[in-house]
Amino acid sequence: MKGKMFDLEGKTAIVTGAGRGIGKAIALGLAEAGADVGLISRTLSELEAVAEQIESLGRRAGAVAADITETDRIEPLVEELREKLGGVDILVNNAGMNIPQEALDVTVEAWDQVMDINLKASFFLAQAVGRAMIAQGRGGRIINISSQTGSVALIKRSAYCASKAGLDMVTKVLALEWATHGILVNGVAPTFIETELSKGFLADPQFREYALAKNLLKKLGTPEDVVGAVIYLAAPASSLVTGHVLMVDAGWTAH
């Protein structure tokens, strides 16, 4: 039994924002654990490179370039990946964005951009995958990549904090509604992670000091630091866990 606790052999996953950073690390981690992986992001060339790495591990991969904020494309997108890979057992809603602004300077356009991808697209992807999982009749796992900002406020992130707090609550509602179908819905909430998208503001010494101020381990995360939590929530090891948001925050929210 021990060897099967984190074994995803025979499972199929879909990962959004899979071309780089956290999403790429998660996709490769799922493949290393035995899953076939469907990849979604806006840039096909990045997805194809990740797909090659997954296939080199002996797993199947499907890559589809799409803008998931175009919600009318979500159902067909999920169906395309299901057909390519033979169903869907795991969804990782990872795609997201942040537009740091002082609250007095937030524009309607910026607010909508953040909400559309972080919350709206994540919900409707979960909805489409949830329908597919219910039709398949074999349960499944949905894992939403949230943030410590869903639980604690950070400056210049009013829209981002609101989107992640909303995603945390959606996670709990879906867990309540879909438990009878054997679908476990959880979240992973990282602290500041060094990626291509975050390196700009983390390079600012003043902001970096702020980012580490309540970090008990005094180190920023890497994409690989998020992977273990996702594998756990996707695997048999977490079969009694649903409606939970797992903090990967170096103790930030312990304060």
> How would you write 34-93 as a 3-class SS string?
CCEEEEEECCHHHHHHHHHHHHHCCCCEEEEECCCCCHHHHHHHHHHHHHHHCCCCEEEE
> Which fold does the domain 2-244 belong to in CATH?
Rossmann fold (3.40.50)
Choosing from 160, 178, 232, 252, the catalytic residue is 160
Residue for token pair 């438990």:
179
- pLDDT given for residue 134 in this prediction: 98
Record the pTM.
Answer: 0.96
Segment 144-149 mean pLDDT: 97
Q: How confident is the model at residue 197 (pLDDT cuts 50, 70, 90)?
A: confident
- pLDDT given for residue 24 in this prediction: 98
Distant-in-sequence, close-in-space partners of 191: CB < 8 Å, separation ≥ 6: 148, 211, 215, 220, 221, 248, 249, 250, 252
Q: What are the backbone angles phi and psi of residue 114, rounded to the nearest 5°?
A: -65, -45
Segment 111-133 mean pLDDT: 98
Residue 210 is a catalytic residue: no
- pLDDT given for residue 1 in this prediction: 45
Contact 226, 26 (CB under 8 A): yes
